[in-house]
């Protein structure tokens, strides 16, 4: 079996593009409409297969290529030689032979905005003390909500709907990527194996490994586990040693690194509260100067907290989908909200998590 570490080998071998130098990209190398649609088609295909390419944006970015490599690994395919790509052609299409991309048709679909889409938007202060006064941390505007619903960002949504995003109201129609929509209203109905207490997600005490399973649960070990690769910023879900899903992640910074080692899932909190303690986040030292932040899609840990048996550390969503892939978390593993809810349906308390 090809190991999950294959992605790391592909990074080293050059299949993932190196960072481009900071100079203007010639207009001739910018993707045209058909190239953007082809890249979007591949991203949607991978997203549907549970190998997340990150935000859908019509580019063959690093996460699209990493997701493609993991998808091929899940099918038992051998790694392919890295293509020779001039740096000036970073949007060159990867090898998609054997992929049923015709199943993604159409690539874009019209979507009619509903009243429900507008229920979770509102004023969101930038400063934490002001956010702590709110009972719900909402989307900033309708474009923010609809972009996350369809696994993209406001910039690409604007590209698909030039001049139509300001003042969106119920009944308006917009073009969106043809993905399974992320419904924030359905988060409370997700059925993971266990849920944590209603206290702040990062406040749950450490739990010994022997107590990590749900009370009354069979002692027979399940064969579902998670591997977190901190070098490639990818999380893999395995069942009976077979890779069944992969998602892009953000890991801890150099100052607050994600804890390397083997852990267990304690439980899952839906729409959690979050205890914002600057000293704890920056230095790992709890202080009395903190703010309790309400649930909502723009809570710092997003819409889902998957607690590990180490206090303050979990796998969770985000209030900023654009941050996925950067080493800027405070030791936790961060996913896009649309990915973390899918992950939550595949695991339960007691499952193993390896961070390496």
Per-residue pLDDT at 31 = 79
Q: Is residue 248 very low, low, confident or very high in pLDDT (cuts 50, 70, 90)? A: very high
DSSP annotation of 175 reads E
Q: pLDDT tens digits for 198-231? A: 566 666 555 554 334 444 444 555 589 999 999 9
Q: pLDDT tens digits for 34-90? A: 999 999 999 999 999 999 999 999 999 999 999 999 999 999 997 654 444 444 455
* Residue located via tokens 């080293």: 12
Rounded Cα distance between 191 and 290, Å, is 31
DSSP annotation of 90 reads T
Rounded Cα distance between 146 and 158, Å, is 11
Q: pLDDT tens digits for 106-124? A: 999 999 999 999 999 999 9
Q: pLDDT tens digits for 261-298? A: 999 999 999 999 999 888 766 666 677 889 999 999 99
Rounded Cα distance between 222 and 239, Å, is 9
* Mean of all residue pLDDT scores within the chain: 84
pTM: 0.83
Per-residue pLDDT at 12 = 41
Q: Is residue 28 very low, low, confident or very high in pLDDT (cuts 50, 70, 90)? A: very low
Best CA proximity match to 234, nearest among 315, 309, 148:
315
Rounded Cα distance between 125 and 21, Å, is 35
Percent of the chain past pLDDT 90, that is, above it, reads: 67
What is the mean predicted confidence (pLDDT) over 92-118?
A: 96
Peptide bond before 106: cis, by omega within 30 degrees of 0?
yes
195 Cβ contact partners less than 8 Å away, ≥ 6 residues apart: 267, 268, 269, 270
Going along the chain from its start, the domains and CATH numbers come out as: 6-103 (no CATH), 108-180 (3.10.350.10), 185-355 (2.40.440.10)
Per-residue pLDDT at 286 = 73
46 Cβ contact partners less than 8 Å away, ≥ 6 residues apart: 52, 53, 64, 67, 68, 71
Calculate the alpha carbon distances from 178 to 40, 42, 111, 181, 340 in Å: 9, 11, 10, 8, 19
Q: Is residue 147 very low, low, confident or very high in pLDDT (cuts 50, 70, 90)? A: very high
Per-residue pLDDT at 215 = 44
Q: Tokens standing for 78?
A: 């051998």
Q: pLDDT tens digits for 299-311? A: 999 999 999 998 8
> Within the chain, how many helices (H) and strands (E) appear?
9, 12
Per-residue pLDDT at 200 = 65
Q: Is residue 193 very low, low, confident or very high in pLDDT (cuts 50, 70, 90)? A: low
CB 293 within 8 A of CB 189: no
Residue 314 has pLDDT above 90, yes or no: yes
Q: Tokens standing for 224?
A: 């579902």
């Amino acid at each position: 079996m090809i190991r999950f570490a294959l992605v790391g080998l592909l990074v080293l071998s050059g299949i993932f593009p190196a960072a481009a130098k900071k100079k203007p990209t010639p207009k001739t190398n910018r993707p045209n409409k058909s190239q953007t649609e082809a890249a979007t088609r591949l991203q949607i295909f991978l997203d549907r297969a549970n190998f997340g390419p990150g935000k859908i944006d019509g580019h063959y970015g690093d996460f699209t290529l990493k997701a493609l490599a993991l998808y091929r690994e899940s099918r038992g395919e051998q790694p392919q030689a890295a293509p020779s790509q001039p740096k000036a052609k970073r949007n060159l299409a990867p090898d998609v032979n054997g992929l049923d991309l015709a199943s993604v048709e159409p690539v874009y679909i019209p979507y009619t905005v509903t009243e429900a889409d507008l229920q979770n938007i509102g004023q969101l202060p930038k400063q934490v003390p002001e956010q702590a006064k709110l009972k719900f941390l909402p989307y900033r505007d309708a474009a923010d909500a609809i972009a996350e619903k369809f696994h993209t960002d406001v910039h690409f949504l604007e590209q698909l709907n030039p001049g139509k995003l300001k003042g969106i109201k119920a009944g308006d129609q917009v073009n969106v990527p043809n993905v399974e929509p992320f419904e924030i209203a359905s988060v409370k109905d997700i059925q993971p194996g266990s849920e944590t207490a209603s206290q702040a997600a990062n406040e749950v005490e450490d739990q010994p490994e022997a107590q990590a399973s749900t009370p009354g649960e069979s002692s027979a070990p399940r064969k579902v586990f998670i591997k977190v690769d901190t070098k490639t910023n990818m999380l893999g879900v395995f069942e009976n040693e077979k890779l069944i899903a992969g998602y892009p992640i953000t890991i801890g910074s150099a100052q607050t690194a994600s804890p390397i080692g083997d852990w267990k899932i304690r439980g899952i909190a839906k729409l959690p509260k979050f205890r914002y303690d600057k000293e704890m986040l920056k230095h790992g030292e709890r202080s009395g100067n903190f703010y309790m932040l309400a649930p909502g899609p723009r809570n710092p840990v997003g819409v889902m907290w998957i607690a590990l048996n180490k206090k303050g550390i979990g796998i969770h969503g985000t209030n900023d989908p654009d941050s996925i892939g950067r080493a800027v978390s405070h030791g936790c593993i961060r996913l896009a909200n649309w990915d973390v809810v899918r992950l939550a349906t595949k695991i339960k308390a007691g499952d193993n998590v390896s961070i390496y």
